[in-house]
Amino acid sequence: MGLYPTLGTALTVVVAGAAAVLMARAAGPARAPDRVPPPELVPFLGGMEPETHAWSRFHARYYPMALLFIAFEMEMMFMYPWAVVYVREGVTALAEMGMFLAILALGVLYAWREGAFRWQ
């Protein structure tokens, strides 16, 4: 009941994982097709030829909108479990959610002041 059974189990798991990775790497080329047809090399764009490259850069004005979208999504992600906790915690949970929403409101006011909501 010492350290050796635990080390043996860990070593077995590491060896089994390494064997699985090596077998997957060895079986990959055997299962892959010899040649990929040209239409499958192009990114899918609703059946039309893409006009730009898939790794093309976006204009910087899209990023603040994306960050605001993520902020509002995080708000909703935290509000659903909060509704369950509110029943159990009561006023404490209400105060915490009020602080959370106040911080988000400050972020929205800052974005509004900076003009992130104006689309040009």
Domain ranges of the chain: 4-114
- Mean predicted confidence (pLDDT) in 18-41: 80
Note the residue count of the chain.
120
Q: Across the chain, what does the average pLDDT equal?
A: 80
Q: What is the Cα–Cα distance from 81 to 98, expressed in whole angstroms?
A: 15
Backbone angles phi, psi at 61, to 5 degrees: -70, -15
Domain 4-114 class, CATH top level: mainly alpha
How high is the pLDDT of residue 16?
97
Largest CA distance in the chain: 71
Q: What is the pTM of this model?
A: 0.43
Residue range 37-88, pLDDT digits in tens = 666 666 666 667 767 776 777 777 777 778 778 877 877 787 888 888 888 8
pLDDT at 23: 93
Residue 13 confidence (pLDDT): 95
